[in-house]
Amino acid sequence: MAEAVVLLDLWVSPFGQRCRIALAEKGVAYEYQEQDLDNKSPLLLQANPVHKKIPVLIHDGKPVCESLIIVQYIDEVWSDGAPLLPADPYARAQARFWGDFIDKKIYEYGTRLWKLKGEAHQEAKKEFIEILKVLEAELGDKKYFGGDAFGYVDIALVPFCAWFYTFETCGGFSVEAEAPKLVAWGKRCLERESVSKAFYDPVKVYEVLKQAYGFE
Ligand SMILES: N[C@@H](CCC(=O)N[C@@H](CS)C(=O)NCC(=O)O)C(=O)O
């Protein structure tokens, strides 16, 4: 019997995009269910009663929440495709460390660029550029974060490339000038169908974020 795989998601969500990219990388067929977060569906509330957030992957009726946990789940369940996480325990731990770093830093510090003003804004800009430089140093001259193969850390970060335009517009700096290798890596990732299909025009993303957060 065919498996039932459902993704509760929102088109512009970088967290949802991670799951879509991982599913596409593994060639998993699934039903996409766009959610209205202003009017959460009973299914979403039942599937993610703790956080009440998208994305949620429902596999044969069982929900899995939190995007990076979903990506790891996808990697383990559909293990016959190319692995997203390395097999070596130390390399796996390192990949999880960078996924966690991205989760803790990019969204939190990036949104400060439009939430804060004056001196605090200047400080946020400095901190955010530092985060980009840390990531750029970790990438180094590798093709992808894990080396030659596209994987977990790339999936964690790449949806935020569509936010770079918003970060630089609100922050008053150029991502490419500060972290050129990171921008080149983003373009390389976009050559993959799994990524390009989940990606949206950065200017459109800017308009959505502007409306959602009410910045000028
Ligand atoms: N840490 C979560 C973040 C998910 C998240 O923030 N989802 C947002 C949409 S992008 C959401 O569902 N927000 C609804 C709410 O906060 O009520 C993950 O990685 O899945």
Secondary structure in 3-state letters for 137-182 = HHHCCCCECCECCCCHHHHHHHHHHHHHHHHHHHHCCCHHHHCHHH
Q: What is the CATH number of the domain that holds 21?
A: 3.40.30.10
SS (H, E, C) 186-216: HHHHHCCHHHHCCCCCHHHHHHHHHHHHCCC
* pLDDT average per 10 residues of sequence, the chain (216 residues): 88 97 98 98 98 98 98 97 96 98 96 96 97 98 98 98 97 97 98 97 96 89
Distance from the CA of 140 to the center of ligand 1, in angstroms?
A: 30
Give the number of domains in the chain. Answer: 2
Q: Are residues 193 and 125 in the same domain?
A: yes
Q: Are residues 174 and 132 in the same domain?
A: yes
Tell me if 9 CB under 6 Å of ligand 1.
Answer: no
Distance from the CA of 115 to the center of ligand 1, in angstroms?
A: 18
ipTM of the complex: 0.99
